[in-house]
Chain A
Amino acid sequence: MRRAARDLLIGALFSALSGLALRALAGAKNALPASTAASRITSQAPFPALSAAADSVASYDIDAKLDTNTHRITAHETIHFVNRSAAPLNELWFHLYLNAFKNDKTLFLRSPFGAGRSGDKAHAYGYVDVKKLSVLGDGAADGRDLWPDRDRHSPNDPDDETDLRLPLPNPLAPGATLSIDLTFEDQLPEIVERTGYSGSFHFLGQWFPKLARLEPDGKFAHFSFHALSEFYADFGDYDVSLDVPEAFRVGATGSLSHESHAAGRKQLRFLAENVHDFAWTAWDRFETRSERIAGVNVSVLFPPHQERNAQAELDSVRFALPHFNALYGTYPYPTLTLVHPPDGADNAGGMEYPTLITTGGPWYATFGGGHFIDIVTIHELGHQWFYGLVASNEHVAPFLDEGLNSYAEAEAMEARYGAGAVFDGFGLSVTSTALNRALSAARGADEPVGQSAADFASFRSLGALVYSRTAIVMATIGRVYGEDRLAHAVGMYTRRFRFRHPSPDDFLGVMQEELGAEAATALSAALFARGTVDYLVREISNAPEPSAAGIFDGPSGRQQKKPDPPHAPGQYAGRVVVYRHGTLELPVDIELIFEDGSRERRHWDGHGFTHNVDYAGPSQIVAVNVDPEHRILLDDDFTNNWHSTTSSPAPRVFERGLYAAQVLLGEVGP
């Protein structure tokens, strides 16, 4: 540590220089060419016309008043419900997800997973109390309070109150409507799992009593608030009036239609059509920036001194919104709100709601070559399609939203930044694909990717498989069967199921239609059957092949051929044996490298367990490289993809290692 000071100075100067360089490059970033996504997919079969609206099942009118000192909300809610199923309904299922933070025995807080995605337990408890519930319309009960008739706890879980059944006094026939009138009070927890307060900052997600999604067969897709799960709900229209102190800035799902001020408070009315959730935030220290991008009014709410992050977030939206519009269908809403939570409220960050997303990161997140801000912004923006518009069941099939969205995020980040999508600095670039592969490789046999969120062994497993491995599965399919074809297939899926609730079978159906049975089979095996693959080569054999000697009778008469003299330039016969481990059969290229420096490509369709590559020619095979472009990112182990008859020096590694050791010896020696 003799002159350890120098180490830090080096680091500080590096940071400063990189900051300056990044600032200089900022203009270049903004000047990046627009997304080329449109040209990639318009050359293929046309897409169907986009649905203009969802079939509304559950629409909500809410009047809510926030007390920012006690962190309580008092509210009145009316749900306009239509039974669009084929069966009469005898009950309703309500999700009261704020009760997940009520006490340490709830399903969420007793979870062994470190309290879910935010990785933090509640520091102050929160809950929702329904004061009264009555129904009007078909199946009505004359305004009587029905809430006492509800089940007291979630099914088979006496300690949890997040998933409650309410019997209806009369069956609700298919097509019939019902108005459900509630009054309720929220006590917000300190920020946990993307909801609650931190100081005067408030973020409200899953804050109101909400109906579970009604499936076409008349059953409700209801589930308790689980640490590994996200959400699922019906489309509808939201009309939400919020009453907050006048000094507070508010961001919310939908568009602000009216604002009035009285007695030191303000009332804001937000309208959102064709959405399936409503979230909002209020803070007295928010700063804002707005910009119209691709016909959408984009606003960023951010803490003081985070202009740099806000700018980076706007830059990301400026690139990704048109990019996603071209790939997955035009974003149909007039507004998009980005919320960057303040320091200390990080658990509110990195989440998606219809027309509102939360980002996150410290004030210095854009320094030093990392693209964290861009990644989180583009990921959450992607959810406007994979969750928002294509509203699959996040509880039952999380790969359909988080997985496909991770693929979309990686694709967009690489379209924007190329090889430096995740990190680009100090001579090192890391791409999203490389990171996703590193996180998910060799985990394919652990658990099925396509299972329910609650069935995963841990959040680490869910993260590796649902997020990273799905992205790698998709990237592999793209690299093997055509990236443009895959982009078109995913675009077809998002357009066909816009404002709908597709299942995994719907997704696979589109993939089969667009990419063919072989690709769909591989996709299905990789997602649902723990499909894995590992191509490897163990041996290369070479042998001189002398020309045949002896007496030969031919059309020109009898000829005698003598044996080749010693050391004559001759022919070689060679064989390379390539193996395929695992269950996925994916076509692969094999590259042979010869002694004279030439290279030759062979192709294997991936069927069978071994493949012999035979060769005869004037030069010996000295090396073989299976899948030289690494198209098969699902390959469990890249290090056995090649084999060489020569030694394997690592001069570059030695050079870097030597230099690092020399510098360290000089700086920290006694």
Chain B
Amino acid sequence: MTERALPSSLTRLTTSAAAGILLWVSRTLLGSLVAYPLLTVVDATGIAGGPDHDAVLFRPGSLLLLELLRVGLPWLGAVCKITLVLGALSALFELLPLACALQLLHDPDRTLGERAARALACFPRFFGLGAVTWAAQAALLLAASLLATALKSALQHGDERTLTLAPFALFGLALLGCLWLGGVLDLARAAVVRHDSGAREALRSALTALRDQPLDVLSGAYVSALGGLLAYLVAAWLMTRIDLSGPMPARLAFVFAVHQFAIVFGLAWRVRWLRRALELSARSD
């Protein structure tokens, strides 16, 4: 059972909102950092230097979008590497707001300074747990890849469609497994935040929670993922129907709003799952 009295609905709502906002702000700032090198390429090529600026890149037919790729090719390789490095660093840095958000959900009464200090303290364990999960996920995908190769050989004389789709099905299963591992990782993080426990102990606690409440863990993780996926899909669908090739700031603002809404919606599902992970972890104590 939890050590504290259950928070009121209003407190739950406000802490969830605060956690969501924290995650959104950090992701937006880090996302801007990651996206910045791309802007430098656009600027360097001069493709947006005309009277219509970068609207030309969104015109039907992609004449100037391909021109950007052609002219910007010498820079793009280097920029991709920089973006990857920035992305990796940002992903690591995002563990801090994640830890803060978990602290906030777990113990809303702490001060901002205390939460930041605890988040910093949690960082090495979050990183370690993330690395272990990554390794497990990579092993799962590697196994799926090896199996797919074997399956391809076995199906060599079979139907062309089966030959194409079977490896995809295998990878689909492997990715579901990766998702499940991600859920376990969140349980372990919840254990770290709740008990300030070490990574190994937190992992053990997560596996205990999984053993005790497998359906709750699976459904929580998958529903969270599906919520985000739904938001991204709707945003993507909507985007395909909005023409950005004209000088229309209102449309751009609308597109920005839709994209950010999708991100916020996805984060809301994530916060909901993190809170659930804290509860599942508590139930297994």
Contacts and interface: CB of A to CB of B under 8 A. Distances in A.
Contacts of B124: none
Contacts of B120: none
B58 to A, nearest CB: 6
Interface in B85-129: 87, 90-92, 94-95, 126-127
Given A8-B172, A9-B175, A434-B66, A639 B49 contact: yes
Interface stretch (A322-330, A396-404, A448-456, A646-654): A646-654
A364 B232 CA distance: 25
Given A5-B178, A653-B48, A431 B35 contact: no
B161 A664 contact: no
Contacts of B61: 419-420, 429-431, 433-434
Contact of B228 (A430, A649, A661, A666): A666
Nearest to A644: B49
A350 interface: no
Interface string A1-44: 11111111110111001000000000000000000000000000
Contact of A664 (B47, B58, B87, B255): B87
A269 interface: no
B-side interface mostly: helix
A2 B50 contact: no
Interface of A: 1-10, 12-14, 17, 303-306, 342-343, 362-364, 418-420, 426-431, 433-435, 437-438, 441-442, 591, 593, 622-623, 625, 630, 637-644, 648-655, 657-666, 668-670
Interface of B: 27-28, 30-32, 34-35, 38-39, 42-43, 45-51, 53-55, 57-58, 60-67, 69-71, 87, 90-92, 94-95, 126-127, 130-131, 133-134, 137-138, 159-161, 163-164, 168, 171-172, 175-179, 182, 185, 225, 228-229, 232-233, 235-237, 239-242, 244, 252, 255-256, 259-260, 262-263, 266-267, 270
B66 A438 contact: yes
A363 B161 contact: yes
Given A362-B164, A640-B46, A653-B42, 18 more contacts: A3-B178, A3-B179, A7-B175, A8-B172, A305-B160, A363-B160, A430-B66, A438-B66, A593-B51, A625-B51, A638-B64, A641-B50, A642-B50, A652-B244, A654-B32, A654-B39, A662-B263, A665-B31
Contacts of A658: 28, 31-32, 35, 259
Contacts, number: 231
Contact of B54 (A1, A7, A418, A651): A651
Contact of A649 (B48, B87, B95, B259): B48
Nearest to B185: A2
Nearest to A429: B60
Nearest to A591: B51
A670 B133 contact: yes
Given A343-B160, A418-B60, A659 B42 contact: no
A464 B110 CA distance: 65
A666 B235 CA distance: 16
Contact of B63 (A305, A431, A644, A650): A431
Contacts of A669: 91, 94-95, 130
